[in-house]
Amino acid sequence: MVDTISELADLSHQLNADSDAVNSTITTINKKLRSLNLGIEAWLNSPLLEPLPGDQSRDSIGPFLGYCSVEDDWQLAIREKPQDWHGDLLRSPLLKASRETRIAALQYIPAVVSQLKNEAQRVLTAIREAKQFCAQSLTMDKNEIRAVVLLTLAERFEDSNQRNRLSTFEPTTPEEERPLREVLAEFKAEGSVASSMNTYQLTPDGYNKYREQISALRALRGQK
């Protein structure tokens, strides 16, 4: 009996030492993941612990391992439903979980990292698709740019205030930069537009030349 207790004390000492090593490992992984500045959340769907004989399934109560922002820091975390808790699963840092949970989590950390990779790829794809959609849907073609330039310069030309007659033009997307330069250059080359210091205005000849087209554009757009 005494020998057994003595052996158990030795095992307890070793277990506590190994638990410190577990915490050190989790802390190191947290620092490494945090340095990547992903800002992305990911969770595993399987609970870390098996239910004890006679206990309910852990599929709805956890703990589940994941990575998220909790207690004002991105870190490895768990979601679980404590006993007699009726709300959503509670989130807490893995470092604050029970020893049993922390030890069980070690073998699943690579799966969380893999899940983070998949989620990062999904988010990146969504961002690129959204960017491409915006570029396609918001970018004007050369004819549309030409119409905008004409209508803007005509409105300024008709303004009696001389100071308000100058206009500047900037592309709304990178794809518009070249056609915008081409439109302005063509107007300048034919003498319909004068420019100075990246500002533009219609010349009287240009206004007369495009008067009918300007009226047609205004009618098409419901302008007076």
Cα separation of 224 and 209, whole Å? 19
**Residue 134 pLDDT:** 66
Hey, what are 187's tokens?
A: 């107007």
Q: At what angle do helices 177-189 and 142-158 cross, to 10 degrees?
A: 50
**Residue 189 pLDDT:** 95
**Residue 223 pLDDT:** 59
- The full set of domain ranges for the chain reads 2-135, 142-220
65-123: pLDDT as tens digits: 999 999 999 999 999 988 778 888 899 999 999 888 999 999 999 999 999 999 999 99
Q: Looking at the domain covering 142-220, what would its CATH class be?
A: mainly alpha
170-220: pLDDT as tens digits: 888 888 899 999 999 999 999 999 998 889 999 999 999 999 999 999 988
Cα separation of 80 and 62, whole Å? 5
Cα separation of 173 and 144, whole Å? 14
